[in-house]
Amino acid sequence: MAKKRGQVTFFIIIAIVVIVLILLVVSLFKTPFKPDLSGSRIEVVKDFVKGCAEETTRNGLKIMGLSGGLTEISKDFIPRSAVNVFSNSLLLGDNEVMYWYYKSVNNLDIINVPDKVLMEEQLGKYISDNLDKCLHRFERLKFEGYKIESGDVNASVKIKDTRVDVKVEMPTIVVIGDNSLKINDYSSSVKSNFGRLYNAGKEIIESNSDYLEDLTFDTIALDEEIPLSDTEFDCRERRWEKDKITARLRYLLSRNIRAVKLKGTSFGDIEPYYQWDAMKNSYKDVNANLMYSNEWPLYLKVDPSDNGLLKSDDIVKLEDNAKFLNGIFCLQNWNFVYDVKYPVLITLNSGDDILQFGYMVVLENNQAKKNTIAKEDYGEFKEDFCSKKLGKVNVIVLAPKSDGSYNSVGDANMFFKCFNFECSLGKSDFNGDFDGDVPQCVNGNIIARKEGYFEGKLPISSNQLMSGGVKLEPIYELNLDILMFFGDSVRGLSGNENAILELRSLDRDYSVSVIYPDSKKVRLIAGRYNVSSVIMSKGADITIKGESVEKCVDTGGLLSIFGFGSEKCSSVDVPDLILNDVVIGGNVNLIEVPRNLLGFGRTITLYSYYDGAPSNTEEYGSIYERINTNRLKEKYGYEIK
């Protein structure tokens, strides 16, 4: 019996297993297949997008590195032309490299190191605009059976020292069968030393070093073919041609600048003289190279000179009765002063990363540029000064009206300035009143600022209670028109002409520059202005014919005593100069703009002169002298309607 029970039990177990298997098979056939959308297939999509984001990021970093740190360089206010050959960037073929330091065309020191936040914004925008070039609308994945739809791309980045973190927001729907999944964000990190290169470049600019200027002066002083200062016992006048000096200096600088290496970076054995100590930290993983090409611009001014000739002086002045000794007692002396400007390309690279930027070397009167680069940083002392408000002021903020009366100005931002410290005080109330505490200072200023007004100042000594009025000047936006005196008639600008204008107030520290007709608006306050205009013609090539200039040198020496002296003359050929941007007119003028003529919607017409295109080198060289003499009487200089 026991054996029969065991057999029954076995058959029961077998029956149960068969029933379970049948139920399982039926369940599989009735339940739809659900693909694994959260597993490997989704990772394929994510990895594909991340790979494209990293590739696009590297491309963006390369563009930024070759352009000076930004993907989009702002245009110079005054376009690159014969009057602004340096501009705000160094032109390398079709590529522009922004200067991190340069002298503007109006001789202002400009520090133009890009802000890291702006760099991150531009790189994020580049990725957003160019990611699809790599994705190709997911055509590769679609070929493999994926159904993918994606929305707009919005990328953001953070540039770190040794990596760039990338976040891409792009709504993506992945469809397989009847199922779908949405992906919104993709994050990735790109290995890159771009941040370290940026830090190294900033240290170079912030060092405010004069090394390259000193190297430039040494190049001038140590070369026998470039005259600087000397005295010779000689009766012959020494002469040098500026064109030859310029060519020689270009050649020497191209060699000397290339030899310079930056201390703290990676380089081999080099003389200490050519090691530039401009960085406070060590960058042994960074290679640094400097370059000046003799094809790049170079500004050279030498004083004294006469029409491109530098001459020595005979410093022995003999009385008439001793003139017969002229050939024996002769002493030639020269002492020249140089102004020099030229660009240097600084290139930093580490691995596959590169960052290059322009730096302008400036000598003025044989001296390095003025020390105006260093930023004043008073740190905690400034904070401590602004926090100790022991003086009291009560002022009202006012703005003049056209009839000579005043309106009070509410919600103006108030500041107190003492020497180089400026402290925020708050705002004026609805009625224009400000009653508050200020730091103690003798000969300080209360300053009021508000959008639409030029700032006002009230001198005070805040060691006692002070009261008074701070006057803001309303800024009026006027329509702008330019007319030129063309012989006996007046005409406007043609399609290929523009005017570069600067209006500088003689009453306040206010100025405005405009390129017309790119901008047909100008913002002015009431008062007197010095107006300068330069009219330029663009597009058509204008050829200034070259000419042959004869230059003579006295070779008499001692023989001149006996009448055997001679004069040696040679011709110097000046080649043709072809210009597609040329100055054709302009003027410098003084105008006074009354308050009662200023008003929104009005038009100011400024008048200038048409001088015509220069036809030879003499006219080309003197065109600015003509502009400075083209002065209009005040009543003809402008008109407001």
Q: Which residue has the higher pLDDT, 386 or 12?
A: 386
Q: Is the domain of 159 the same as that of 268?
A: no
Q: Is the domain of 398 the same as that of 542?
A: no
Distance (Å) of CA 368 to CA 212, 224, 360, 364, 511:
9, 22, 11, 6, 28
Q: Which residue has the tokens 């003809």?
A: 636
110: its two tokens:
């400009």
| Pair 153, 185: CB distance under 8 Å | no
3-class secondary-structure state, position 192: coil
Q: Is residue 28 predicted with pLDDT exceeding 80? A: no
How many structural domains does the chain have? 4
Instruction: Examine the fold and report which residue of 429, 448, 474 is the final residue of a domain before the chain moves on.
Output: 474
For residues 456-466, average pLDDT: 75
Distance (Å) of CA 183 to CA 33, 37, 143, 154:
22, 11, 20, 14
Confidence at residue 530, expressed as pLDDT on a 0 to 100 scale: 87
Looking only at Cα atoms, what is the longest distance across the chain?
A: 164
Instruction: Examine the fold and report which residue of 164, 191, 218 is the final residue of a domain before the chain moves on.
Output: 191
Query: Amino acid identity of 101?
Result: Y
What is the band of 474 on the pLDDT scale with cuts at 50, 70, 90? very high
Q: Tell me what percent of the residues of the chain surpass a pLDDT of 90.
A: 37
| Pair 115, 159: CB distance under 8 Å | no
How many angstroms separate the CA atoms of 148 and 224, rounded? 73
pLDDT in tens, 112-154: 999 999 999 999 999 998 888 887 777 777 666 667 777 788 8
Q: Is the domain of 230 the same as that of 332?
A: yes
Q: Which of 129-138, 168-177, 481-490, 565-574 has the lowest mean pLDDT?
A: 565-574
Residue 282's domain spans which residues? 195-368
Confidence at residue 376, expressed as pLDDT on a 0 to 100 scale: 40
Q: Is the domain of 596 the same as that of 456?
A: no
How many angstroms separate the CA atoms of 108 and 462, rounded? 34
3-class secondary-structure state, position 217: helix
218: its two tokens:
């040494």
Instruction: Examine the fold and report which residue of 335, 368, 401 is the final residue of a domain before the chain moves on.
Output: 368
How many angstroms separate the CA atoms of 312 and 229, rounded? 10
Confidence at residue 260, expressed as pLDDT on a 0 to 100 scale: 94
Q: Is the domain of 203 the same as that of 326?
A: yes
Confidence at residue 108, expressed as pLDDT on a 0 to 100 scale: 80
Q: Is the domain of 543 the same as that of 577?
A: yes
Residue 257 neighbours by CB distance under 10 Å: 23
Distance (Å) of CA 544 to CA 297, 356, 614:
19, 36, 7
* pTM of the model as a whole: 0.56
297: its two tokens:
């611009």
CA trace torsion 355, 356, 357, 363 (10° rounding): 130
Q: Is residue 98 part of a domain?
A: no
| Pair 154, 172: CB distance under 8 Å | no
DSSP string, 42-108: HHHHHHHHHHHHHHHHHHHHHHHHHHTS-SSPPPPSS-SBTTBSSTTEEEETTEEEEEEEEE-TTS-
Q: Is the domain of 618 the same as that of 559?
A: yes
Q: Is the domain of 527 the same as that of 386?
A: no
Over its C-alpha atoms, the chain yields an Rg (Å, rounded) of: 37
Q: Is the domain of 504 the same as that of 463?
A: no
Q: 353, exposed or middle or buried, with CB in 10 Å at 0-12, 13-18, 19+?
A: buried
For residues 470-477, average pLDDT: 94
Look up the CATH number of the domain holding residue 463.
Answer: 2.60.40.1120
What is the band of 21 on the pLDDT scale with cuts at 50, 70, 90? low
pLDDT in tens, 51-101: 888 999 999 999 999 999 998 888 887 778 777 889 899 998 878 999 999
Residue 612's region, left for phi above 0, alpha for psi from -120 to 50, else beta, is left
